[in-house]
Structure 1
Amino acid sequence: MTPIKPPPNLPELVKTTFSKALAAGDVNFYPTQVTLLNINSVPFQLRFSPSLANKPKPPAPPPSSTPPAADRPRFNPFDNPSPALLVASLPPSHNLILNKFAIVPEHFILATKAFKPQTHLLEADDLAATYACIEAYRADGKELFAFFNSGEHSGASQPHRHLQLLEVERMREGLEGQGGWEVVAGRLVGEEEVVLPFRTFVEGIHGDMDGEALRGVYLRLYRRACEALGVDGVREEGEARICYNMAMTREVVVVMPRVAEGAEVRSAGEVVGKLALNGTVLAGTALVKSQAEWDALRNDPEQVIEVLKRIGVPTESEPALRL
């Protein structure tokens, strides 16, 4: 496999493209308030973006005499992406594209050029391209967090295969004076014992690994996640057998099996909303869109722990759950 090489100035390129797109109105940025919650002694971000509730809908596709294939989306932001959002092409197989609806500044996406399903198992070039972006940021003294959502319970929103990338320092914005926060995925290897409310499967990686080696790690973790749900995960190609999130940093790959996207939020016994989570849960972050949810969870952080137990396999669960 030919090595995938992002532009050497990738961090600056992402920053410049985001700034231009934001000024031109091609990107929607939603500022947030943030607080830190204590989740099993792990600092966990809770963010509130009231304006995100009014996020605009994507435009409808033009009328066509030829209906789209059943496995293709009617509107696909990753097919022939807007030039204003295109950060760079990664020949031969991927594009880097800004997230049009950003909570974290400079949030960008690694998408396959050809349509491939989000629910299929990742390929070696997907993982190699992701790690190449992480290394490009590392060369500039920065850290990237990458995540992947697959399946109806994972927080996935687009059927076209893509991974998402966030600069860790931008994820810390607003936390000044609130104590330390680190990406949770990175804390799951090493001597420190970190116990989360849900089970994760973790393996270390390093810069000498090629795409096939990275895929070997990913598949081992995927199989373990399948086993935790009582599912046969022998298959190495095609449709995944479970819903899951994957996260990657420079030093670790994490896979988390999912059984629900989220759960209800209550205040004084009344349901006031739903906390839904995607792969950023493996960074240690969550997002709410209403004042009622924000107030309820800040006043009762135990609710967050209960939601985290319900979205995956609870840590204390010994018998495998079955779908």
Structure 2
Amino acid sequence: MSLALPDSFPELIRSTFNSAKESGALLFSESTDKDIVVQDLTFNVRIVPALGQKPVNNKDNDDVEKPKKKFDPFETPEPALFLCSLGEKYSIILNKFSILPYHYLCVTTKFESQNAPLSEDDLIAAWACLQADLDPNMRQLAFYNCGERSGASQAHKHLQFISVSKQPKLLPDVALSYGVPESKDAIGQFPTYHPAVPFAHFVLPLPPNPTGNDLVMRFSSLLARTLNVLRRHEQRDISFNFAMTKEWIFVAPRSQESADDISINATGMIGLMLAKSDEQMEQIKTRGPLELLLSVGVDRVIEDEAHHDY
């Protein structure tokens, strides 16, 4: 399957974002950010006061409500947020609740579960979206939160895309700087990790122009190790975070959705964290990002690659 966003996508997303924000169809939250440096890693913490605003429950306690089907915002995307189709299987829409400009989603047109791993079509769609350079000074990041403990907010399968700064480097960038062991399998490389990071995570570099098979082979290699770690920790339900740029693929198994009332998804696991307040930012700084991420991740398991069973 060959997929591509329209050439006009950068202009399309800017104009649609601005009009949706002006009309109120898109709710944009102001934020500030600070960096926390731990050894050779930089964790960027974005402080978003709107995250601390809890919705008001207007339900009359005397009313008896009938069971209702849970609302699926991706079943029929809001016209004001719709950007374009990507083949017959995907819709590209703006994130209704945005913290960063031009945050968008790639959703399946027909319902598929967010608890399912990414398919070859999903990976090809992700790569197609990463080709849209919205800002020459930024790079595109794809991420996917799989499973109930991953930080996923919707049950309908969706990949997310944001623009991130090229500096400072993210966890997968730094992990790759330690080198990637060679192997004799089809990929030719074993997944690597950052030696000072205590939670399990796996990274592989991508070739310049990967085929669908290239993407599948690398993701499968990372997923196999993720499933093995979850099994070793006797965790039956499968939850993990996935992230990808043009340079690498990253996967990390998850054990909890949040810690200390701090929700963490795939962006948090690679170094881009969210806080509801300055106090919560200080909480992250005091406890330490690595310890916090370990509490929602899974202890790293060192294995002998020569005896790894796929």
TM-score higher than 0.5 here? yes
Partner of 1:220: 221
Matched, 1:310 2:295: yes
> Aligned residue for 1:18?
17
Separation (CA, whole Å) in 2 of partners of 1:206 and 1:217: 10
Aligned positions of 1:168-317 closer than 5 A: 168-169=164-165, 180-191=167-178, 194=194, 195-230=196-231, 242-264=238-260, 274-298=261-285, 300=286, 302-315=287-300
Partner secondary structure for residue 36 of structure 2 = strand
- Deviation at 1:141? 7.0
User: CA RMSD of the aligned region, Å?
Assistant: 2.9
Q: For the residues of structure 1 that align with 2:282 and 2:135, how far apart are their CA atoms?
A: 40
Distance in 2, matches of 1:126 and 1:101, equals 23
User: Which residue number corresponds to residue 159 of structure 2?
Assistant: 163
Q: Structure 1 residue 191: deviation in Å?
A: 4.2
Partners of 1:55 and 1:131 lie apart in 2 by 35
Partner amino acid, structure 2, of 1:202? V
Does the 8 Å contact 1:183/1:282 carry over to 2? no
Check conservation: 2:140, 2:162, Cα contact below 8 A. Answer: yes
Name the counterpart of 2:93: 97
User: Structure 2: which amino acid aligns with 1:34?
Assistant: D
- In the alignment, is the contact (CA less than 8 A) between 1:205 and 1:253 conserved in 2? yes
Q: Which stretch of structure 1 is more off in the superposition, 214-223 or 155-164?
A: 214-223
Is contact 1:145–1:283 with CA below 8 Å preserved after alignment?
Answer: no
Code of the residue aligned with 1:147 in structure 2: it is: F
SS of residue in 2 equivalent to 1:127: helix
Secondary structure in 2 aligned to 1:79?
coil
* Secondary structure at 1:229 match in 2: helix
Does the CA contact (< 8 Å) of 1:186 and 1:249 recur in 2? no
Work out whether 1:30 is the aligned partner of 2:29. Answer: yes
Matched residue, 1:235 = none
CA distance in 2, matches of 1:41, 1:30: 30
**In 2 relative to 1, CA 306–124 (structure 1 residues): closer, same or farther, beyond 3 Å?**
same
> Equivalent pairs: percent with the same residue?
32
Once the two structures are TM-superposed, the CA of residue 307 in structure 1 deviates from its matched residue by: 1.1
CA separation in 2, counterparts of 1:25 and 1:108?
16
3-state DSSP of counterpart to 1:80: coil
Report the CA distance between 1:217 and its aligned residue: 1.4
SS at 1:185's partner residue? helix
How many angstroms apart in 2 are the aligned matches of 1:280 and 1:48?
14
- 1:230 maps to a residue whose letter is R
Q: How many residues align?
A: 281
Q: Which residue of 1 aligns with 2:182?
A: none
Once the 2 structures are TM-superposed, how far is the Cα of residue 210 of structure 1 from its aligned partner? Answer: 2.5
Structure 2 counterpart of 1:204, which letter? P
Distance 1:67 1:47 in 2: 35
Contact 1:185 1:282 in 2 (8 A): no
Residue 120 of structure 1 deviates from its aligned partner by 1.0
**Cα displacement (A) at 1:293:** 1.6
1:101/1:251 Cα in 2 relative to 1: closer, same or farther (>3 Å)? same
Q: TM-score, normalised by structure 2?
A: 0.81
Which letter does structure 1 place at the counterpart of 2:33? V
Amino acid at match of 2:72: N
Distance 1:150 1:26, change over 3 A: same
Alignment correspondent of 2:307? none
Contact 1:134 1:144 in 2 (8 A): yes
Per-residue deviation, 1:246 = 0.4
Distance (Å, rounded) in 2 between the aligned partners of 1:248 and 1:312: 18
Partner residue of 1:82 out of 78, 86, 89: 78
Distance 1:254 1:10 in 2: 26
Which SS does the other structure have where 2:71 is aligned?
coil
Q: Distance in 2 between matches of 1:75 and 1:89?
A: 22
Where in structure 1 are there 5+ consecutive unaligned residues? 69-73, 173-179, 233-239, 265-273
Q: Distance in 1 between matches of 2:207 and 2:232?
A: 29
> What residue in structure 2 maps to residue 46 of structure 1?
45
CA distances 1:218-276 after superposition (whole Å, capped 9, x unpaired): 111111011122269xxxxxxx9521000010011111011112222xxxxxxxxx222
User: CA 1:314 to 1:16, structure 2 compared with 1: closer, same or farther past 3 Å?
Assistant: same
* CA displacement 1:166-186 (0-9 Å, x = unmatched): 0114xx8xxxxxxx5223333
